[in-house]
Amino acid sequence: MQLDMVKAIYDIAVALLLGLAAVGSGVGDGMVMSKYVEGVARQPEARGSIFGSALLGVALVEAFPVIALAFGIIILFTKGAF
């Protein structure tokens, strides 16, 4: 009984980890792209350089859920035995 409860808690923790990482990534992507649109609206001629920075920002924001997924898989399969 006790072991089932621990497994359930680990499953809930992994679900929360992945869900919050996805929400955070979505908010971060939205903020990066909104600033990109603002920058292009202010200076349309600098669109190319702004796009490169925005793409780098999105890539950095998207790295967070990938790392969270790796932690989730580790927690899920090892059940915290590391």
Place of tokens 């621990």: 6
- Rounded mean pLDDT, 4-11: 87
pLDDT at residue number 41:
96
Q: How many CB atoms neighbour CB 32 within 10 A?
A: 19
Domains of the chain, residue spans: 2-78
Q: What is the pTM of this model?
A: 0.78
Say whether domain 2-78 belongs to CATH 2.40.30.10: no
Long-range contacts of the stretch 68-74 (C-beta < 8 A, 24+): 68/17, 68/18, 68/20, 68/21, 69/18, 69/21, 71/17, 72/14, 72/17, 72/18
pLDDT at 55 over 90: yes
